[in-house]
Each structure stands twice: as structure tokens, then as C-alpha cells.
């Protein structure tokens, strides 16, 4: 069983427009409202990979489907979503999980679950996000969530920890959960940002999955001058990943948009680059990669197999308008065309010079 933890879930509202004009009235062509948050998106995708609705009607394939057959290689992994939900938005949030058929064990909180708004400009192929900070979580609610997770860990194979921390939680909240899972021998996959990410590294998560911007912010926060704010330019994925492993992460997978994934693992370093994907909504791509990483741990895949599927799923997620769902045809097309190559270490590079 894979457990996904979303400490700051959201009721996601997506507006699709033909073109977005700032400082003007815009006519919305399409509206979607659903339960979201990074861990929920991962759970929705994992549920769909086993034949549920998150794959937009199921996936073609089977024993005759070859290497890309979803039921053959992805099926049978139960998933349970855990988090905090409250207020009217929280009620709507849980109702959507029920409608989707997702198993969950959310803890009630007194404050209102946040809302996020994604404005998708179809003409420009851009997505503008408006994210509320989230409810203020009390110490009692935080302890109730830890207790809820404790009851699930004896049956868990992997724990996924994703997204931002709501106000009220300590900055080392993810570090606490990583150590809690470790006591049960359950590996943790961490997808976080800022102080929550930095504080969790020393707890030894099995896999850390920053995107290139999150890696840059982490490097700036740890090594930059006080008050330096955003990094001046893109970081070196190899150097940043190596640093995160030195800080305690057992493996680091950096996602870098169309440039694919860079992985620094105990078994070596790789780059996995999918074929070019034009247009789409990139907001769910990272969650798709995390879903594949969790499945790789749960099902005992080696790193090459895991990374190829993570890159292909990410590309398939970009082509779907809603986070937590994928375009199965894109996955099946891409899984055989992902370019996987070994990446040399710094010592190997120096020997070649």
C-alpha cells in the first residue's frame, strides 16, 4: 500500500481561456473544480494506473500490450490519501475524493481548506497559478494527523510526502514524518520546497524530487547570502543533487521540464529525457514523476526502469488539461522513446580532461 500525505490540500479551480488579457475582463471557456494538492494528485494518478478513472477511461494494453501495458506493470498497488481538510471547501474536497473512488483517511481541521486557481491560456500555452496559503493548523490537529499515519504505516510499502506546509505546522514537519515512516521501515518520497525541504534532508528520505527551481531556491537558502532571495540563474542539477545526498537524501531526482530528469542514486547517475511535448498543462508533470518513483520503490524496479517510466508519465501528464490525470496514448508512445543515458560523476569528468 502506498500512502500519500498532503498537509496543505486544496480545492483546485481551473479556468481555461482562449487568451488571457491582464487588466481586462476575460471570458472563461471552461471551468473544472476538484480535490487537489500534490499528494492528492499523486494518489489520483496511482489510482488511475491500476485501472481507475484517473487515466481518463482506463489505459489500453494488457499482456499483449508489450512494455507499455499499464495493467501488467502498474496494477495491484493500493493507495490511500492522508491529509487535513476543513470547512465548506473541505467538505467539497472530500466529496470529490468519494466521487473519484479514492481511498482516504483525512483528519478534520477547524479552519477552511484552501482554494487554488489555475488560469490556462490555451492560445499562449501558459498556466498562471493563484494559491491561497492554507488553513492554520493547531498542534492538536497536527498530532491527530501523525496518529492517523501511524495506524497506516504497518501496512504501507511507501509513503509520499508532497506539497507546501500550511500555517501553524513546524518547519520540520516533513522531517518528523520521514522519521516516523523510517521507524516502520517504510521509505519516504519527498516532494517539497523551501524550509520544509531543507529541514527534511537530514531525516534521510529515500528519494527527494525537487524541480529545478526548487533546487535553486534550496541552494540559495543554504549557501546564498542572507536576504538574497531568488537565485540569479538556473543551478547545476548534478551539483545540487550531489549536495542534497550529502545532506542526507539517499537518492535525488531533479525534474527540469522538457529537459527531463536527472537522478543521483546509490546505483549511479542518469538522465532521462522524453521526446518533445508541445503545449499542455505542466502543473501535474512533477506529481506524475513522483507517482512513478513511488511505484518503482513499491514494486522493486531498478533505477533505469523507474526513470524511463517517470519521464514518460510526466510527458503524458503535460498533455492532459487537469493535474492528476494523464494521456495514456502519450505514455505508450513515449515509454519506448525516452532517452536514458548514464551521467558521469565529477571525478569521472576530471579524469577525462
Which residues are designated catalytic? Answer: 287
Calpha distance 209→342 (Å, rounded): 19
Amino acid at each position: 500500500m502506498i500512502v500519500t500525505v498532503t498537509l496543505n490540500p486544496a480545492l483546485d479551480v481551473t479556468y481555461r481561456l482562449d487568451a488571457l488579457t491582464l487588466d481586462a475582463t476575460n471570458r472563461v471557456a471552461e471551468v473544472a473544480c476538484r480535490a487537489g494538492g500534490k499528494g492528492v494528485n499523486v494518489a489520483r494518478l496511482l489510482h488511475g494506473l491500476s485501472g481507475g478513472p484517473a487515466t481518463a477511461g482506463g489505459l489500453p494494453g494488457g499482456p499483449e500490450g508489450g512494455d507499455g501495458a499499464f495493467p501488467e506493470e502498474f496494477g495491484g498497488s493500493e493507495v490511500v490519501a492522508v491529509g487535513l481538510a476543513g470547512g465548506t471547501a473541505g467538505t467539497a474536497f472530500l466529496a470529490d475524493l468519494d466521487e473519484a473512488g479514492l481511498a482516504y483517511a483525512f483528519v478534520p481541521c477547524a479552519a477552511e481548506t484552501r482554494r487554488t486557481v489555475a488560469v490556462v491560456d490555451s492560445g499562449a500555452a501558459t498556466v498562471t497559478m493563484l494559491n491561497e496559503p492554507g488553513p492554520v493548523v493547531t498542534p492538536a490537529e497536527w498530532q491527530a494527523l501523525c496518529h492517523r499515519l501511524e495506524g497506516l504505516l504497518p501496512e504501507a510499502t511507501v509513503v509520499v510526502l508532497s506539497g507546501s506546509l500550511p500555517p501553524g505546522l513546524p518547519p520540520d514537519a516533513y522531517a518528523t514524518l520521514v522519521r516516523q515512516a523510517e521507524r516502520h521501515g517504510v521509505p519516504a518520497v519527498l516532494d517539497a520546497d523551501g524550509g520544509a525541504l531543507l529541514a527534511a534532508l537530514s531525516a534521510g528520505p529515500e528519494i527527494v524530487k525537487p524541480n529545478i527551481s526548487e533546487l535553486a531556491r534550496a541552494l540559495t537558502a543554504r549557501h546564498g547570502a542572507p536576504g538574497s532571495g531568488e537565485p540569479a540563474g538556473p543551478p547545476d542539477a548534478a551539483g545540487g543533487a550531489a549536495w542534497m545526498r550529502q545532506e542526507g537524501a539517499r537518492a535525488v531526482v531533479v525534474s527540469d521540464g522538457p529537459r527531463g530528469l536527472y537522478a543521483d542514486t546509490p546505483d549511479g547517475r542518469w538522465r532521462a529525457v522524453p521526446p518533445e511535448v508541445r503545449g499542455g498543462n505542466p502543473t501535474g508533470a512533477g506529481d506524475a514523476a513522483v507517482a512513478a518513483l513511488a511505484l518503482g520503490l513499491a514494486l522493486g524496479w531498478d533505477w533505469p526502469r523507474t526513470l524511463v517510466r517517470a519521464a514518460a508519465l510526466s510527458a503524458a501528464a503535460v498533455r492532459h488539461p487537469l493535474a492528476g490525470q494523464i494521456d495514456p496514448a502519450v505514455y505508450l508512445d513515449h515509454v519506448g522513446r525516452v532517452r536514458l543515458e548514464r551521467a558521469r560523476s565529477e571525478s569521472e569528468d576530471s579524469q577525462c580532461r
